[in-house]
Amino acid sequence: MLEKVDAVNSVINNFIWGVPAMICIIGVGLYLSFRTRFLQIRKFPYAMKVTFGRMFKKKEAGDGALTPFQAVCTALAATVGTGNVAGVAGAIAIGGPGAIFWMWISALLGMCTKFAEVTLAVHFREKNKDGDYVGGPMYYIKNGLKKHWQWLAYLFSAFGVLTVFGTGNATQVNTITTAIDSALFNYNVISENQVSTLNLIIGIVLAILIALILLGGIKRIGQVTEKLVPFMAVMYIVLAIGVVLLNVKNVPTVFASIFEGAFNPASVTGGVVGSFFMSMKKGVSRGIFSNEAGLGTGSIAHACADTRKPVKQGFFGIFEVFVDTIVICTLTALVILCSKVPIGYGEAAGAELTISGFTATYGGWVSIFTAIAMCCFAFSTIIGWGLYGVRCIEFLFGTRVNKPFMLVYSLVAIVGATMNLGLLWSIAETFNGLMVIPNLIAVFLLSGVVVKMVKDYFNGIETCLLYTSPSPRD
């Protein structure tokens, strides 16, 4: 029975994360780019000015809201994760160095898609029974489209609830336990028979921490992510830049291999990766999977921002994709390629390939810092996806289920730390991909709203709506 379920899931998963989905995501990104006259390029300096240039200014958020900086940190918490480390390594191993070029292309288009998602999420958000701002794809479908499209909102929310336990929680906890176990093994701190007990303790501690943060409400989530995300990002970026600088003589060759491999992978990989299409597929899918442009999930966090300017918050979507994919994913690729560690082209690879790039440059001691980085990446993803899950289940059943959901979500950490549930997480990844469908339909149909709001913003007449009518579910 399980084999049949696995086979069916594999077919759906390959379709969702395969060519059709890529065409849809890239297609919507291109469509939005043309309609906004490539806003992500034209206004990139402005985007950096109103995001990076202002986000460190101290500002207190109102009740039930996050500061714009906390909102982008919460969204980055969910997107900047182990995929930035393991996923990029896998893309290079299967698609060759050229996959990085196509990852950049997907990020360039993804900036516009994410901009549209964030702008719509803030524009069509509501205030719930508890006084918190709530928004995201389900709300811009509900408040922005006609009634015969409302089923898409419920579909997105249902897929979101089914996704968070696997993609957002258990797999991330497994990454944390693996990183800690590996670091302790290297220094002979623990033995093989102590692993299961240690993992149980880690699972219990994580469950308590997750519950304390989520049950503390939107304010506490923002306070945690605004400290954790900059710390983990800066630590990883500094270590990665160090690898590049210590191997700077290899940088020109690496970039040459990326551009050449994008169109002629066989010339770089020795014929092992000979397919131009495979290189493109791996690069594009990794970019999409990393920055979540097209999934709509990040907009849920941005909808909590204390701002009355949806378009201005939308520029944080551009910033988010830039940091996640152009900066962090690129640095991961450079760590692997500049360090000249052996790459088994055509064979699956993960975080171990990236870590080998660090250890080949710095020595074995750096494994401690890579373990800390991996733990921070994974834990931040758990918190970000916890918020997404709460908002999705709240849309379906009202605010009364929020706290029970948070408790269940927290306890899943123990399961993730102690059990191997491979098939379940594979199914969760499929549901994660299925979230793309209702979201992209909504973004495509509401593209005219985005275009008008951009024009109004730069003409100084932007307005911010707030849908306050209480949901019948409450």
User: Is residue 361 included in any domain, yes or no?
Assistant: yes
User: Is residue 233 included in any domain, yes or no?
Assistant: yes
Distance separating alpha carbons of residues 92 and 162, to the nearest angstrom? 30
Dihedral, 229, 230, 232, 234 alpha carbons, nearest 10: 150
User: Is residue 465 included in any domain, yes or no?
Assistant: no
CA pseudo-torsion sign 24, 294, 171, 184:
positive
User: Is residue 468 included in any domain, yes or no?
Assistant: no
Per-residue pLDDT of the chain (474 residues; tens, 9 = 90+): 667 877 887 888 777 777 777 778 889 999 999 999 999 999 999 999 888 776 666 566 555 567 777 888 888 877 777 777 777 888 888 888 888 998 899 899 999 999 999 999 999 999 888 888 999 999 999 999 988 999 999 999 999 998 888 778 887 888 788 778 877 877 777 777 788 888 899 999 999 999 999 998 888 888 888 888 888 888 889 999 999 999 999 999 999 999 988 888 877 776 666 666 777 777 777 777 777 888 899 899 999 888 888 999 999 999 989 988 999 999 999 999 999 888 887 777 777 788 888 988 898 788 788 888 888 888 888 998 999 999 999 999 988 999 999 999 999 999 888 876 566 666 777 777 788 889 999 999 999 999 999 999 988 776 555 555 444 444
User: Is residue 473 included in any domain, yes or no?
Assistant: no
Which of 383, 470, 385 is closest to 435 using CA atoms?
385
Determine the pLDDT at residue 473.
45
Residue type, 385: W
Range of the domain at 365: 11-454
What single DSSP character describes residue 166? I
CA separation (Å) from 378 to 76, 192, 233, 354? 12, 24, 12, 16
CA separation (Å) from 335 to 160, 287, 346? 33, 17, 19
User: Is residue 467 included in any domain, yes or no?
Assistant: no
User: Is residue 3 included in any domain, yes or no?
Assistant: no
Distance separating alpha carbons of residues 112 and 328, to the nearest angstrom? 19
Q: In sequence order, what are the beta bridge partners of 126? A: 134, 467
CA separation (Å) from 120 to 73, 104, 111, 342, 384? 19, 24, 14, 45, 20
Length of the chain: 474
Determine the pLDDT at residue 250.
92
User: Is residue 269 included in any domain, yes or no?
Assistant: yes
The CATH number of the domain where 270 resides is what? 1.20.1740.10
Tokens 């901009």, residue located: 115
Q: DSSP assignment of 287-349, as one string?
A: HHHHH-TTT--HHHHHTTB--S-HHHHHHHHHHHHIIIIIIIIHHHHHHHHHTT----TTS--
Q: DSSP assignment of 57-109, as one string?
A: S-----TT-B-HHHHHHHHHHHHSSTIIIIIHHHHHHHH-TTHHHHHHHHHHH
Determine the pLDDT at residue 471.
45
Distance separating alpha carbons of residues 457 and 466, to the nearest angstrom? 17
Phi, psi (rounded to 5 degrees) for 134? -130, 140
Distance separating alpha carbons of residues 269 and 95, to the nearest angstrom? 9
* Domain total of the chain: 1
Output the pTM of the full model. 0.88
